[in-house]
Amino acid sequence: MNSDLKILEPVGILDKTEAPNLRKMVNEIIREGAKIVLIDFNNVTFVDSTGLGTLVIIRKSVMEAKAQLVLCSLNQQIKMLFELTDMEKIFKIYPNREQFLHQL
């Protein structure tokens, strides 16, 4: 696996309680020099508007660091949220981790 790749696997609900933790983790791995950040949503059951807003902020931080943000394994609720807000157009999203790693 690519040493510039860091994978985060949040669990549960990405909301106002958990979103700051994810943002902190991403900022930390960017400071450590990660060039690709993969957030695997396999174990995330729900994302609310705060979680979505945090992902937009994370995307901006990652881009400013000249790194790449990739998402994978979105469940139906999260996919619908992204589609309703047109966020699927600004994020790189893969069906699952295996497909992302295959193209890497």
Reading the block at residue 75, the tokens are 């469940």
Query: The CATH number of the domain where 39 resides is what?
Result: 3.30.750.24
Q: Which of 64, 67, 71, 65 is nearest to 90 (CA)?
A: 71
Each residue's pLDDT tens digit, 10-40 = 999 999 999 999 999 999 999 999 999 999 9
Q: Which domain holds residue 53?
A: 5-103
**pTM reported for the whole predicted model:** 0.94
Alpha-helical regions (H) of the chain: 19-31, 49-64, 76-84, 97-103
Total domain count for the chain? 1
Structure tokens at 98: 């295996």
The number of beta carbons lying within 10 Å of the beta carbon of residue 97 is 17
Q: Is 35 exposed, middle or buried (0-12, 13-18, 19+ CB in 10 A)?
A: middle
* Percent of the residues in the chain that have a pLDDT greater than 70, as a whole number: 97
